[in-house]
Amino acid sequence: MNGLKLHAQTLRKWEGSLFIAPWIFGFFAFVAFPLGFSLYMSFHRVKVTVSGIETVPNGIDYYREILFADGGLLYNDLIPFLREAAVMIPVIIIFSMLIAILLNQRFWGRTFFRVVFFLPVIFSSGQIVLEFMKQGEGSLAFVESLRINAYVAEYVPKAWVEPINHVISSFVLVLWYSGVQILIFLAGRQTISSSVYEAARIDGADPWNTFWKITLPGLIPFIFLNLIFTVVDLFTFPSNPIISKVSTANYGLSSALAWIYFVIVLAFIGLALLMYSRVDKAFGGKRR
Amino acid sequence: MERIAHAPESRRGWTREAAAGRADSVKYVLLGKEADQGLLFRLFLYLILIDTAFIYLKPILYMVITMLKDSSNMLDPSVVWVPRSIFIGHLEEAFRLLKFKTGFLYSLTISLSVAVLQIVSCAAAGYAFARLEFPFKKFWFTALVFTFILPPQLTILPSILMFKQIGWANTYLPMIVPALFGHGLKGALFVIIFRQFFQTLPKELEEAARIDGANAFRFFFKVMLPLSKSAMIVVFLFSFVWNWNDFYLPSMYMSGSKEVPLSISLAKLAASLSADEAQGGISIFAEPVKMAASFLIIAPVLVVYAIAQRWFVEGIERTGLVE
């Protein structure tokens, strides 16, 4: 009997292994191997010839060059971009949460609005958005007429003026980047059962309280998920300044740059994780 | 709901309570007992929704209108939104410059084959992650999350070299073959979506099938895949659209090829138009031609979205996309 059970378990393992085998093969072929090779290249001078690839060890020279010698490669683009991302990420999260909560209500024309609000999912991933931005579709007339820029220049530390103003002037872009985030929040909102809201209503909770005590705590995992998604999305978007510098012109240098960049992305995600664990602890008691 | 709560009190004639009740109901008409009722909230809701919808739709409207303007309409300052006549010359011009017919076929080949392959391969991987047992499962799940956050730029250079070595440079194969194994553009995200979806399905289904003697493969293809229609639609739409719009991978893998997808011809077109501008002054036709080209490229995706949106929106809600 015991032997039979053991047999069934190994069988299950075999089935599972067969199912996952293609993915694992793909992981080695298209992720792990290129990744290792890129790390290798970042320490080597790479020459691509007709017959193959020649590599000459170069030590950490490329890293030293990017980090300390030539500021133009990394810092000039990276620091404004990071500042912008730091402004953009919370705006995207808050905006998409607001829209998702609104879209979750029952109201006339809901289907129409949902179709429209999912449009960015389709457009925001490509050349089209870049074209729109070049046409000046990125700015909002009414935001500009409020002259927020002047206030920002007055009250905000100098280093942050430029990125904040850029986010304001390309506010539409921020909205366009929030398509998937709205979807995630909408799906997340569905996971909070309506009986909780009913119970709160019977207890006499007003909408304001309901939002802070039920909706928001319930959405915390999704805020976190969106945080990671937004970071990943912003940092891997092809129009991102660092990414356009990773080119076939110099394999070694580009690989080193990509690795430095990846470490920065990881740091951002790590920060998101840390924040999540803090917030989750704070809200954890209330949720249960 | 609140009427019932207050009714007995007012009937008993406790005037103070009744007045409070009346004040409450005024408040409730304006503010709503719950967030989705109440007049003020409604107005606010529509204000925000209509504004935002307008922001989303405006570029598309602008695009369509600009491409339909002929020279007289463009020079007429009184024409802002509604052109006096409809002119399709720019569309024809863009059609020709983009080599739309062949480009369309290339784009369709890549996006459709990647989307179909990713549906099957990512579903299988997602199913394994959700329900099956295999060695080092936790490790591989970490690897999956890792592939999700990995910027493609980190692996692109070695991949170019690798595909060159095996003679796949300037073909579609570097885009399509990874999809066969559950990777490819955003493949990790699709595996995660399928994993989340399969986790929501009841475990009893599997137990019943196991007692009936069905193995995992039969069960997966006969029961699980047909059940996962909503997840499949979500993945299909994402995969198709993202591959259709993707410019980065084709530009890296197919830089020397003549058979380029539309996203690349659009970039080339925009570049050549702005080069013309730099040389020979600003042409008033550059703008409408660019808009017409953009329209030609998103039109097929819009059609796919229009067909799939109903199931897509439903699917998003039903997959639970995330845990």
Residue B13 banded pLDDT, cuts 50, 70, 90: very low
pLDDT digits (tens, 9 = 90+) for B63-73: 888 888 877 77
Give me the mean pLDDT over the B64-92 stretch: 76
Rounded Cα–Cα distance for residues B121 and B146 (Å): 18
Which has the closest alpha carbon to B144: B179, B180, B195, B216?
Answer: B195
User: Do residues A124 and A133 lie in contact, with contact meaning Cβ atoms separated by under 8 Å?
Assistant: no
Q: What DSSP character marks residue B84?
A: S
CA separation (Å) from B171 to A4, B75, B177? 51, 44, 11
pLDDT digits (tens, 9 = 90+) for A146-202: 666 666 667 777 777 777 777 776 677 777 788 888 888 887 887 788 888 888 888
Q: Quick one: residue A93, left, alpha or beta (phi over 0 = left, psi -120 to 50 = alpha)?
A: alpha
Whether residue B108 lies within 8 A of chain A, CB to CB, comes out as: no
Q: What DSSP character marks residue B14?
A: -
A53-57, A100-104, B196-200: the lowest-pLDDT one: A53-57
Reported ipTM: the value is 0.83
Whether residue B246 lies within 8 A of chain A, CB to CB, comes out as: yes
Whether residue A4 lies within 8 A of chain B, CB to CB, comes out as: no
Whether residue B31 lies within 8 A of chain A, CB to CB, comes out as: yes
pLDDT digits (tens, 9 = 90+) for B213-222: 777 788 888 8
Residue B19 banded pLDDT, cuts 50, 70, 90: low
Torsions phi, psi for B247 (to 5 deg): -115, -30
State the amino acid at position A54 in one-letter form: E
pLDDT digits (tens, 9 = 90+) for A201-210: 888 887 788 8
pLDDT at B16 exceeding the cut of 70: no
User: Taking CA atoms, what residue in A is nearest to B159?
Assistant: A34
- Which range, A4-13, B29-38, B144-153, is most confident? B144-153
Note the pLDDT of residue B7: 43
Inspect the interface and report whether the beta carbons of B317 and A137 lie closer than 8 Å: no
User: Do residues A35 and B154 lie in contact, with contact meaning Cβ atoms separated by under 8 Å?
Assistant: yes
pLDDT at B5 exceeding the cut of 70: no
User: Taking CA atoms, what residue in B is nearest to A254?
Assistant: B157
Maximum pairwise Cα distance, chain B: 91
pTM for the whole thing?
Answer: 0.83
User: Do residues A138 and A132 lie in contact, with contact meaning Cβ atoms separated by under 8 Å?
Assistant: yes
Instruction: Choose the mutation target among A7, A111, A122, A129 for the interface with B, i.e. most B CBs under 10 Å.
Output: A122
DSSP helix/strand/coil, B6? helix
- List the helix and strand counts (H, then E) for chain B: 17, 0
Give me the mean pLDDT over the A90-112 stretch: 85
User: Do residues A15 and B128 lie in contact, with contact meaning Cβ atoms separated by under 8 Å?
Assistant: no
Whether residue B321 lies within 8 A of chain A, CB to CB, comes out as: yes
A35, A126, A131: residue with CB nearest B246: A126
Whether residue A196 lies within 8 A of chain B, CB to CB, comes out as: no
